[in-house]
Amino acid sequence: MKRNLSQTSVQYVKGVGPQRKKTFLRLGIDTVEDLFYLFPRRYEDRRKMTPLSKVEIGKWQTVTGEILSNSGRKSWHTKKHVYEIEVGDKSLRIFCVWFNRPYLDRYFKVGQRVVLYGKVDIYKDRLQLVSPDYEIISDDEEDKSLSIGRIVPIYPLTRGMTQRYVRKTVKRALDKYSSETKELLSYNLRRRYKLDNLIKSFLNIHFPESDKAQEVAYRRVSFEEFFLFQISVLLRRLSIVRKKGTAHRISEKFCSSFLDLFPFSLTGSQQNVIEEIKKDLSCAYPMHRLLQGDVGSGKTLVAFFGALAAASNGYQAAIMVPTEILARQHFEVLEKLLKKSNFKNKKIKLFINTTDKKEREKTINEIKQGKIDILVGTHALIQDGINFKNLSFVVIDEQHKFGVRQRALLSAKGMNPDVLVMTATPIPRTLCLTLYGDLDVSTISELPSGRGQVTTQAFKPEEEALAYKAVRAIVERGEQAYIVYPVIDESEKLELKSAQKMFKRFQLKEFKDFKVGLIHGQMKKNQAQDVMQKFKNREIDILVATTVLEVGVDVPNATAMLIEHAERFGLLQLHQLRGRIGRGAKHSHCFLITEPTTQEGVARIEAILSTTDGFEIAQKDLMIRGPGEFFGRHQHGLNELKIANPQIQLDILEDARKEAIALTEEDPSLQNKANAAIKEAILNRYPAYLANILSG
């Protein structure tokens, strides 16, 4: 009988005590299996080290040598702590500096051997590495054999852990347990796709014999992960189709009351999407639909349609969004809409992580008793202990900010509710089916008419005064502006302007005759909400902010946005930020202060200057970054994939999907004995939303 490695604690590995176990937990590693799946963030080829005399200036390289001297001091100039070591081999010397890492004072000792990885520069006529990755090579034979003379894995670390230690622990775990891994891919399947067995693959992922071997191993482990993932997606799809949900009755009268809520008429796209949703809601099978639409295309209204339909049928609806600002905004908009309408008797409520315990208890009770019809909130909605009386419609807004699990947790609070997930990040068609194989897709392809144009313009850092002047001109005519920074305060990144610092400066200097506000993610909740309210009421003219603005915020009188250090933001992020303006009829202006230094940075800025169309932006982003970086994993709820990466391994994903389809067609409940191990593995990995499917 083989041990279950997903239930064998890392503590069984030699050298891991209770303390270390805690540290491993911070990396998300609990079991031996987790350790096997700890994917190195990169590898260093230390088979042949470059002598210092042969290093190439301007390139990232690995070098090694002996520490000849070390010193730490405080720079009188910048007040930063500066730590320096001098490292030499037989051929030459190199200097390494780190800033603000006082703990290094006690770390290195003269005479030790170190391996360093960084970009080699020339500074004051000497070779230099700034803040390189470093590793001390001890005299211990086990350490040495794992750390030099081979392709060496470099793992993600957490405080209190060294490469050396992780490497040793992984090696010991592999030695002791790798023979007990369960092979899930049949021999035939492996042969068809030229995949190694699992044991060999794990060995080559951690301690590759060659680059090629690592590649093959990576393919193999990824294939298996995709395979399980796709089976889970397909099973979910099957189970939804088989389930019984709520058939809502949607009358003409309801529809006209709904349209009466708005002072405008719906766009053609909105009408089409609502038609699709109407059909889904009316039928007895649960809806499972993804709504894509660019920033500002009016998705919220579609969500409200469903929520009100549920409420009008005597059921409950829940709308989940990623930030409290957005939750509050949706809530307020909805409250205002309903006030004097035919829906005024519908009870709506905001639910966020409020501190007030009593209020919370009360709301939880009302939810349970069905006294609340529509609940709007954040992640707070999916906590244990929140139970609905009869939830029949669920919305997940800005769904790329949530994971599959969170999506599932909210749905699980209802009786197979109709589910609408919404996103402003368009997804190329090929990827869509594979990643969202369990969802139907609707698209809003146009913006409401009457929107003012948005012009985007870039300034260099030394031209900041011009940009501030442009903002001033707009605020002087009674419109409002956002000024966005990548960081909150200067301690985060020294060389950057920060929201905090600039807020103070603007109040005293550039914008002292205006009302300037500040908002960021680390503010107290009620404080942030107060600031947002003031901005909406025009009691604040200029709002200095971080990316908390990125999602959803809707203040049509804000017609200017200045983004400093714009090269620091991702392209989609810039697009989302810019989506905060151009919401009214007036012409809006986006100003970027930026000096991109990388090729990608230049391309991103060019792209954002060239178009405001979200689908085009997404396409450009895909080209600039390559599929590899386009999607953050969490965006697709692929948290459960530990090694496989759908973006760069699309071909493998497609193969795995094909095999998963074949398998689930043949054995939809995974009852065959031959599939028992697969079933167990899937239940292990995707327990939250598959247990009930497979046990039934």
Residue 19's SS3 state is helix
Choose among Mg ion, ligand ADP, none what residue 293 binds, the Cβ cut-off being 5 to 8 Å by kind: ligand ADP
Q: Closer CB to ligand ADP, residue 7 or residue 271?
A: 271
- Work out whether 153 is an interface residue with Mg ion (CB under 5 A): no
Q: Under rule CB under 6 A, how many of the chain's residues touch ligand ADP?
A: 16
Among residues 167 and 583, whose Cβ is nearest to ligand ADP? Answer: 583
Length of the chain: 696
User: Environment class of residue 401 by beta-carbon count within 10 Å: exposed (0-12), middle (13-18) or buried (19+)?
Assistant: buried
- The two beta strands, 316-320 and 391-396, are parallel
Q: Which residue is nearest to Mg ion (CB)?
A: 552
* Least gap, CB of 545 to Mg ion (angstroms): 17
612 binds ligand ADP (CB under 6 A): no
Q: Is 411 exposed, middle or buried (0-12, 13-18, 19+ CB in 10 A)?
A: buried
- 409 Cβ neighbours under 8 A, 6+ residues apart: 382, 688
Q: Which is nearer to Mg ion, 205 or 555 (CB)?
A: 555
Q: Which does 298 bind (CB under 5 to 8 A by kind): ligand ADP, Mg ion, none?
A: ligand ADP
Q: How far apart are CA 516 and CA 218, in angstroms?
A: 52
Tell me how far, at minimum, the Cβ of 302 lies from ligand ADP, in Å: 8
* Beta-carbon contacts of residue 354 (< 8 Å; ≥ 6 apart): 360, 525
103 binds, among ligand ADP, Mg ion, none (CB under 5 to 8 A by kind): none
Binding mask 20-49 for Mg ion (x = CB under 5 A): ------------------------------
Query: CB of residue 422 vs Mg ion: minimum separation in angstroms?
Result: 7
DSSP H/E element including 221: helix 211-242
User: Least distance from C-beta 398 to Mg ion, angstroms?
Assistant: 6
Q: CA-CA distance, 299 to 475, in Å (whole number)?
A: 29
378 interacts with, out of Mg ion, ligand ADP, none, CB within 5 to 8 A per kind: none
To ligand ADP, the closest distance from the beta carbon of 11 in angstroms equals: 47
637 in contact with ligand ADP (CB under 6 A): no
DSSP H helices, 515-645, are 525-536, 571-578, 599-610, 614-630
Nearer to Mg ion by Cβ, of 552 and 596: the residue is 552
The nearer residue to ligand ADP, 96 or 447, going by C-beta atoms, is 447
Among 214, 239, 297, 392, binds ligand ADP (CB under 6 A): 297
Pairing of strands 126-130, 151-154: unpaired
Least distance (Å) from Mg ion to the CB of residue 344?
24
Stretch that binds ligand ADP, among 31-39, 116-124, 291-299, 659-667 (CB under 6 A): 291-299
Phi and psi at 427, nearest 5°, equal -125, 125
CA atoms within 13 A on the CB side of 422: 27
Burial class (CB in 10 A: 0-12, 13-18, 19+), 263: exposed
Task: Find the binding residues for ligand ADP in span 143-162 (CB under 6 A).
Answer: none
Min dist. Cβ of residue 300 to ligand ADP (A):
3
In angstroms, the Cα distances linking 39 to 166, 201, 218, 638, 669 are: 12, 12, 9, 15, 31
* C-beta nearest to ligand ADP: residue: 298
By beta-carbon proximity to ligand ADP, the closer residue of 554 and 616 is: 554
Letters for 425-454 (x = contact with ligand ADP by CB under 6 A, - = none) are -----------------------x------
Is residue 419 within 8 Å of residue 290, measured between CB atoms? no
Which residues 535-554 are close enough to bind ligand ADP by CB under 6 A? 554
Q: Long-range contacts for 351-357 (Cβ within 8 Å, ≥24 apart)?
A: 351/327, 351/375, 351/376, 351/377, 351/378, 351/380, 351/381, 351/386, 352/324, 352/327, 352/328, 352/377, 352/378, 352/380, 352/525, 353/324, 353/378, 353/379, 353/380, 353/525, 354/525, 355/525
Instruction: State yes or no: residue 417 binds Mg ion (CB under 5 A).
Output: no
* 120, 274, 382, 424: residue in contact with ligand ADP (rule CB under 6 A): 424
According to the binding rule CB under 5 A, does residue 579 interact with Mg ion? no
What's the CA gap between 503 and 488, in Å, rounded? 10
CA-nearest of 476, 474, 500 to 487 is 500
| Residue 49 structure tokens | 């080290």
Q: Who contacts 217 (Cβ-Cβ below 8 Å, separation ≥6)?
A: 196, 200, 201, 202, 203, 204, 205, 208
Among 118, 153, 296, 614, binds ligand ADP (CB under 6 A): 296
Piece in contact with ligand ADP (CB under 6 A), picked from 223-231, 252-260, 266-274, 309-317: 266-274
If contact means CB under 5 to 8 A according to the sort of partner, which of Mg ion, ligand ADP, none does residue 295 touch? Answer: ligand ADP
Q: Which of 299, 407, 568, 578 binds ligand ADP (CB under 6 A)?
A: 299
Phi then psi for 127, rounded to 5 degrees?
-70, 140
Helix (H) or strand (E) holding 128: strand 126-130
128 touches, from ligand ADP, Mg ion, none (C-beta below 5 to 8 Å by class) = none
Segment lying near ligand ADP (by CB under 6 A), choices 108-116, 294-302, 508-516, 688-696 = 294-302
Encoded one letter per residue, x for contact with ligand ADP by CB under 6 A and - for no contact, window 310-349 reads ----------------------------------------
Nearer to Mg ion, 400 or 657 (CB): 400
Q: Near ligand ADP by CB under 6 A, which window of 131-139, 262-270, 505-513, 566-574?
A: 262-270
- Total number of residues that touch Mg ion (CB under 5 A): 1
Contacts of 675 (CB under 8 A, 6+ apart): 663, 667
Least distance (Å) from ligand ADP to the CB of residue 499?
Answer: 23
Which of 266, 325, 560, 694 is the binder for ligand ADP (CB under 6 A)? 266
Residues 544-573 that bind Mg ion (CB under 5 A): 552
Residues that bind Mg ion (CB under 5 A): 552
Residues that bind ligand ADP (CB under 6 A): 264, 266-267, 270, 293, 295-301, 424, 448, 554, 583
